Amino acid sequence: MPPSSSVVDSAPAPAGPSASALVRAIRGERTDRLPVWFMRQAGRSLPEYRELRVGTHMLDACLTPELAAEITLQPVRRHGVDAGIFFSDIVVPLRLAGIAVEIEPGRGPVFTDPVRTASDVAKIVAVDPEQVAAAAQPIRDAVRIVVGELGDLPLIGFAGAPFTLAAYLVEGGPSKEHLRARAMMHADPESWHALAGWLARVSHAFLRAQTDAGASAVQLFDSWAGSLSVADYRAFVAPHSRAALAGIDTPRIHFGVGTAHLLRDMRLDGTADAVGVDWRTPLDEAAAVLGPDITVQGNIDPALLHAPWHVVEAHVRDVIARGASARAHILNLGHGVPPDTDPDVLTRIVALAHEVSA
């Protein structure tokens, strides 16, 4: 042993998910491997998923630990991505809070009792968000199984942002413009803030269950935030999204669709470490707006997954080149994998990203 060389110098590089390319990139390090994963990488694009899901309702699958764990691992094995994203849904914590919700195949989350009036809001916010933590044992069990299997690869936990959850809850199901939720902000701001504050605590408890059980990073999905004006985003939404993420002690990604006008605000004053960008804004432009203190994630156009490979390849190379102007980049799609995607295209994108960055 060399006489006085420090033990730290000669110690092997730290392993485990916290030293993974994904976690380091979210924290702002440029790694020699460009990390890549796909939103909605688990699910209907995979034949092995469709086979496993036969006869099981979506939310029952989410709450059966062995099944949720296996579905989470399927795309990791198949594609060689740099992270798993926990198989669940943004409405799972609402189900855990005792709210009647189902996921209708081909449609999405549907609530038996939409939350539209001041008294509807008063009723729902009377439910203690701690109830979610108490009921989240199947989530913690599933995460533990996944983390055990992933070894050095990180698992990303996730939750829905308060606005995107409210867009479903107030409407009662999927909608295009989320008019009822946006109307509530102005018509009854007190009820809106009570509801959004409660949703923030519910999503926070869901994130906490996942990180307590070993998830190495989290992503907050505000998929429908793009429908908001900047003024409404600042006044009615950002403080609640910040509250959902505050105090989560893993690196944090914040994602929305159609949010070019909101990117700076989506940093949530430093609460987010990375911002997900959809396919409409080139990453070099996004990075210029976001500034040097944040990592960008994205932004392959999901529509191009159906194009011939040479078109996909040129697009992915362009995305990677533009991402180089940010402090760090995580390669992903600009939104989720469309259900009819040929999974082999995703596998080829992963190989290309790793080859380009090697």
**Which residues sit at the interface with ligand 1CP, rule CB under 6 A?**
39-44, 58, 85, 87, 89-90, 103, 105, 108-109, 158, 164, 174, 221, 223, 336
3-class SS string, 156-184: EEEEECHHHHHHHHHHCCCCCCCHHHHHH
Q: Which residues of 210-227 are buried (b: 16+ CB within 10 A; e: fewer)?
A: bbebbbbbbbbbbbbbbb
Q: Whose Cβ is closer to ligand 1CP: residue 28's or residue 174's?
A: 174
Q: Whose Cβ is closer to ligand 1CP: residue 99's or residue 356's?
A: 99
CB of 100 to ligand 1CP, least distance (A): 16
Q: Whose Cβ is closer to ligand 1CP: residue 106's or residue 308's?
A: 106
Enumerate residues 6+ apart whose C-beta is below 8 A from 354: 33, 34, 36, 80
Distances in whole angstroms, Cα of residue 244 to Cα of each of 8, 97, 201, 238, 315: 37, 16, 6, 10, 34
Q: Whose Cβ is closer to ligand 1CP: residue 206's or residue 327's?
A: 206
Active site residues: 40, 44, 53, 89, 168
Number of other CB atoms surrounding residue 269 within 10 Å: 9
| Amino acid letter, residue 100 | A
CB of 95 to ligand 1CP, least distance (A): 12
CA torsion through residues 57, 256, 330, 220, sign: negative
Q: Whose Cβ is closer to ligand 1CP: residue 214's or residue 336's?
A: 336
CB of 138 to ligand 1CP, least distance (A): 15
Q: Is the peptide bond before 299 cis (omega within 30 degrees of 0)?
A: yes
CB of 42 to ligand 1CP, least distance (A): 3
Which residue's beta carbon is nearest to the bound ligand 1CP? 108
Residue 255, classed as helix, strand or coil, is strand
